[in-house]
Amino acid sequence: MGILGCGNVGSELVKLLTRDAELIFSQTGERFVITAVAVKSLDRQRPSWVETSFLSADADAVVSSPDVDVVVELMGGISPARELIEKALVNGKSVVTANKALLAVAGAELAQLARSVGRDIFFEAAVAGGIPLIRSLRVSLAGERVRRVAGIVNGTTNFILSAMSESGLSYEQALALATEAGYAEADPSADVEGDDARAKAAILATVAFGRLVRFEDVYREGITRITPSDIDFAKRHGYAIKLLALCEVSDAPDFGSDRIAVRVHPALVPADHPLALVRDSFNAVFVTGEAVGELMFYGRGAGGLPTASAVLGDVIDAAHNLRYGVTERQLDREVAAIVPMNELSSRFYIAVDVIDQPGVLAAVAKVFGENLVSIRSMEQIGMDNEARLVFITHTAPESSVKMTLDGIRELASVRRVAGFIRVFDPS
């Protein structure tokens, strides 16, 4: 086998494959020989267990080598990862990848290519790291009518939100802590703005519903605007704030037959729901199926070793299939019909900072009423010469709530809309 990339995940995979070779043979009957590990720089210092003789600067040669039957792509990024995977498949290799960004934009084309050449492309590690989620959805739940997948699929943002909730930190302080702990990258934007979760949501929706959902189909908001005040309010009212990837399908008339809604945004999750209890950098994915009911998968969503473990499971499966000349079931996927965000409904948490004077609450409440957004609970918090009005609405359409916010912002007595977070409905 050949490996493209020898960073955190790649070097841990090399360790597992060499150190545990006997164990893997005894458990699976397969022996894996690493033929080459393609790296950008041959000069960089590597962990001691990565034999120098493996290393090659010629990735093209690795995916063409007759000694390679399975190619593991761990470089990340779109190019040249995409071209290398294509070349590997065309050359008759099966492919294992953890590249969520690539899969979210070109997964369908790569799956189609794999099918046409009779090879596998596996990607368990691309979503929720070490958690055996993709295979469970693809194989165990193949006959299940999955209605919803709701997941915490980004460990960095869950670490930040947990630190804000448990230690009362500001967003900036919690981000600094995450950076220090190695959970956030120097440029954290892909995590905190939600694009990492967005790619994973596209992959999850595609696998769970059997329709093609792409990166650009997924609505997303990140966590950068979440304040300690939002978290404090949520806690006092029995919620935790989590960044959720939400993939839903419904036959309900107002949803359209078989249309899919996919979005990533922070949400108030009821404190006694299993997703609210996911702490630190852990991931968890909640799956609701018509027959199976509620399922949850929980574990490490990132990190070299957990991710390498998921890659190893795929490598073993790919080798088994190659040995017997079969492939994973891969069916053509129609492009999903996506429900526009504006057509979705939910409950909302809305915080409005106003000048503390008579009549303001009535003016704000009037805007809700005019847009037919019904208020479920309301709280006023004094703040010097301002006041904060915090509302939880009843279920209302996104479009109406957007108009409500626009109307509120136009009021002279309103300083700002200080908080706006959707409420997750577990039912």
- Residues annotated as catalytic are 200
Least distance CB 376 / its own copies (angstroms) = 26
Task: Note whether 10 binds its own copies by CB under 8 A.
Answer: no
Q: Considering Cα of 95, then 99, then 102, then 107, what sign does the dihedral take?
A: positive
Nearer to its own copies, 28 or 35 (CB): 28
Tell me the residue type at 387: A
CB atoms within 10 A of CB 126: 27
Least distance CB 186 / its own copies (angstroms) = 25
| Out of 8, 28, 64, 399, the residue judged to bind its own copies by CB under 8 A | 28
Least distance CB 125 / its own copies (angstroms) = 10
Task: Note whether 48 binds its own copies by CB under 8 A.
Answer: no
* Radius of gyration of the CA atoms of the chain, in A: 24
| Out of 3, 14, 16, 202, the residue judged to bind its own copies by CB under 8 A | 16
Q: Considering Cα of 391, then 427, then 199, then 76, what sign does the dihedral take?
A: positive
Interface pattern 166-205 for its own copies (x via CB under 8 A) = ----------------------------------------
Least distance CB 10 / its own copies (angstroms) = 14
Interface pattern 304-323 for its own copies (x via CB under 8 A) = -xx-xxx-xx-xxx--x---
Q: Residue 94 pairs with which residues in a beta bridge?
A: 70
Q: Residue 73 pairs with which residues in a beta bridge?
A: 4, 97
- Token pair for 425: 């409905």
| Out of 23, 271, 355, 383, the residue judged to bind its own copies by CB under 8 A | 23
Q: In 206-315, which ranges are E strands?
A: 219-220, 239-250, 259-270, 282-289, 293-300
- Taking contact as CB under 8 A, which single stretch among the options 132-140, 151-159, 347-355, 364-372 is the one that binds its own copies? 132-140
Distances (CA, A) of 266 to 152, 226, 242: 10, 8, 5
Those residues whose C-beta lies under 8 Å from the C-beta of residue 133, and which sit 6 or more positions away, are 124, 127, 204, 285, 297
Task: Note whether 299 binds its own copies by CB under 8 A.
Answer: yes
Please give the backbone phi and psi of residue 5, each rounded to the nearest 5 degrees, phi first. 105, 135
Task: Note whether 407 binds its own copies by CB under 8 A.
Answer: no
- Token pair for 4: 């493209």
Burial 6-24, CB ≥16 within 10 A → b, else e: bebbbbbbbbbbeeeeeeb
| Out of 57, 142, 271, 335, the residue judged to bind its own copies by CB under 8 A | 142
Q: How many residues interact with its own copies (rule CB under 8 A)? A: 54
- Token pair for 209: 């519903």
Least distance CB 136 / its own copies (angstroms) = 4
Local structure of residue 335 (DSSP, 8 states): B
Task: Note whether 33 binds its own copies by CB under 8 A.
Answer: no
Q: Using CB under 8 A as the criterion, which residues of the chain lie in contact with its own copies when the complex forms?
A: 12, 16, 20, 23-24, 26-29, 124, 130-132, 135-136, 139-145, 210, 274, 277, 289-300, 303, 305-306, 308-310, 312-313, 315-317, 320, 324-326, 329, 331
